[in-house]
Amino acid sequence: MSLAKSVYDASPRLLRILYTNAYGAGNVLRFRKWNRILDRLSYTETLPRREQIALVDKKLKAILAHAFDQVPFYGQFSALAQDFDTRSAFDILRELPITSKEFINRDPEAFLARNRRNVTISRTSGTTGTPFTIVMDKDAFLLGDALWWRRTRWAGYRRGDWIARLVGDPIVPLKETNPSKPWIISYPDRRIYLSTFHLNPDTAVRIGELLRRRRPRFLMGYPSSLEILSGYLKDTGFTMDWNLKNVLFSSEPMHPHREALIKEVFQAEIRGLYGSGEKLISAAQCPEGTYHLSLVDGFIEGQFGIMDPVEPAAVTTLVNTSMPLIRYQIGDMIQTSPEQVCPCGRTLPVMSPVVTKHEDWIITPSGRRIAPSAVVWAFIHQDIADIHKGQVVQEDADLVRVYLNTDEATFNRYREVLQTSMEKVFFQEMRVEMVRTDRIEVTKAGKSRFIMNRYHGSRNP
């Protein structure tokens, strides 16, 4: 990733366009794979509850048996395997410890299966700022992507529809501060990549013109980026003269004030996707607006009314054998609603992400609003394995402090690379101070926020 990224940062626009279109050609193949997976799984969308429980029970038993046998940490529980014929998987699960990023980060090797192969490595920090590396089976990773794609299918996607993306795609180098084209168009897969990092009043005007010209059927993005773009477009008198099927969002909570502004500007319904960074579970909003869990990727305690819900939610993978996360707290609060029946006809379990996380923007002296996910992106795309927790705080008009909870040696190892990457994401407009700390401010909800804005706090509710 880092090599590709540095080539990318350095290469001229033409090369980046070629690279993006080549990737797009690969995407066409990926869509086919995802569609095949989704077609095969479509029967699970309307299974009666009893059969859903039996399906999850069977998958859980398989993953637990594998963990007892192959994963060092779970070897100590292998005697429980004798009970597979007489007890439910949920019953056995109750006897295993709850885990978390912090718990696993103490000895990650102990959580890797000895017989793992065909793996892919995925890094996440989530919104709590604790970096975490997960090793995934390639098949499990592909399934996760397919399930994320299902939300777009539910939203009425047809082959040939254009999708504009406003997520963390690094398509324009950060050294260009006000690019004339803050986007790249990929023709094979019909994607318009917009640069989340370069949103400002000027680029928003050009993005608005591009959208009116290209008329994508979907606009997807982080809620904060969509809100920033919508705000700028509204100020310039942008109007819609084509129909968007849906605005799609993920990665951050959609606060009601954001939703209202985005709907007003783009004149379309908004559909969310909830996916944990570890690709452990996912849920998509159906056309009725209900979040349906995917069922086949992970089991969340309480989802069928089975096991008591844990806060933050505890989830067990049903598919990833390389590093099977078991009773793993994903850091988010999730409300399951086992009794709720959705008028869309899908029987997939219903959940709602509880919006307890509120994150601020960082606002630079020139008025750029930098979305939290853009900052997270700069943070995790470094090799920072041993930092327990980080927090990025805007302290003054032009001052950001990055707090890292780690030991002296680790701090010294990463301080420079992180500082450079943070300065870039703020377009050299902010002074960035790196601070080593033993504690990170925790909010009332018991979680630390990754991004805080002490300076603009009151103006940025």
Residue 44 or 120 having the CB closest to Zn ion: 44
Instruction: Report if residue 416 touches Zn ion, rule: CB under 5 A.
Output: no
Where b means 16+ CB within 10 Å and e means fewer, 219-230 reads bbbbbbbbbbbb
Residue 286 or 363 having the CB closest to Zn ion: 286
Q: How far apart are CA 172 and CA 179, in angstroms?
A: 8
> Distances from the Cα of 192 to the Cαs of 11, 219, 258, 324, in angstroms?
19, 9, 22, 35
Options 53-61, 123-131, 187-195, 345-353: segment touching Zn ion (CB under 5 A): 345-353
The β-bridge relationship of strands 218-221 and 246-250 is parallel
Of 373, 368, 380, 377, which is closest to residue 223 (Cα–Cα)? Answer: 373
Helix (H) or strand (E) holding 395: strand 389-396
Minimum distance of Zn ion from residue 297's CB (angstroms): 18
Instruction: Report if residue 46 touches Zn ion, rule: CB under 5 A.
Output: no
Minimum distance of Zn ion from residue 292's CB (angstroms): 6
Question: Number of residues in contact with Zn ion, rule: CB under 5 A?
Answer: 6
Instruction: Report if residue 342 touches Zn ion, rule: CB under 5 A.
Output: yes
Options 5-13, 197-205, 220-228, 341-349: segment touching Zn ion (CB under 5 A): 341-349
Instruction: Report if residue 203 touches Zn ion, rule: CB under 5 A.
Output: no
> Distances from the Cα of 72 to the Cαs of 68, 78, 119, 157, in angstroms?
8, 10, 18, 44
Residue 196 or 290 having the CB closest to Zn ion: 290
Q: How far apart are CA 131 and CA 238, in angstroms?
A: 39
How many other CB atoms sit within 10 Å of the CB of residue 261?
Answer: 16
Task: For 2, list phi and psi in degrees, rounded to 5.
Answer: -70, -35
Options 38-46, 288-296, 320-328, 394-402: segment touching Zn ion (CB under 5 A): 288-296
Options 84-92, 226-234, 269-277, 339-347: segment touching Zn ion (CB under 5 A): 339-347
Among 288, 396, 416, 441, binds Zn ion (CB under 5 A): 288
Q: How far apart are CA 180 and CA 182, in angstroms?
A: 6
Residue 207 or 342 having the CB closest to Zn ion: 342
Please report, as a single letter, which amino acid is at residue 118. N
Using omega within 30 degrees of 0 as the cis cutoff, is the peptide bond preceding 343 cis? no
Minimum distance of Zn ion from residue 349's CB (angstroms): 11
Residue 142 or 344 having the CB closest to Zn ion: 344
Among 71, 80, 146, 286, binds Zn ion (CB under 5 A): 286
Options 110-118, 145-153, 338-346, 352-360: segment touching Zn ion (CB under 5 A): 338-346
Among 344, 354, 434, 445, binds Zn ion (CB under 5 A): 344
SS3 breakdown of the chain: % helix, strand, coil, rounded to 5?
Answer: 40, 20, 40
Among 196, 203, 250, 290, binds Zn ion (CB under 5 A): 290
Of 461, 374, 27, which is closest to residue 195 (Cα–Cα)? Answer: 374
Options 75-83, 204-212, 342-350, 451-459: segment touching Zn ion (CB under 5 A): 342-350
Options 36-44, 279-287, 307-315, 326-334: segment touching Zn ion (CB under 5 A): 279-287
Residue 71 or 342 having the CB closest to Zn ion: 342
Helix (H) or strand (E) holding 62: helix 49-70
Options 35-43, 256-264, 335-343, 354-362: segment touching Zn ion (CB under 5 A): 335-343
Minimum distance of Zn ion from residue 288's CB (angstroms): 4
Residues 6+ apart with CB under 8 A from 257: none
Minimum distance of Zn ion from residue 341's CB (angstroms): 9
Residue 351 or 452 having the CB closest to Zn ion: 351
Residue 92 or 300 having the CB closest to Zn ion: 300
Residue 83 or 269 having the CB closest to Zn ion: 269
Residues 6+ apart with CB under 8 A from 259: 270
Q: What is the rounded (10 degree) CA torsion for 45, 46, 51, 56?
A: 10
Instruction: Report if residue 441 touches Zn ion, rule: CB under 5 A.
Output: no
3-state secondary structure at position 369 = strand
Polymer length in residues for the chain: 461
Residue 172 or 348 having the CB closest to Zn ion: 348
Of 226, 349, 355, which is closest to residue 291 (Cα–Cα)? Answer: 349
Residue 286 or 334 having the CB closest to Zn ion: 286
Contact set with Zn ion (CB under 5 A): 286, 288, 290, 342, 344, 346
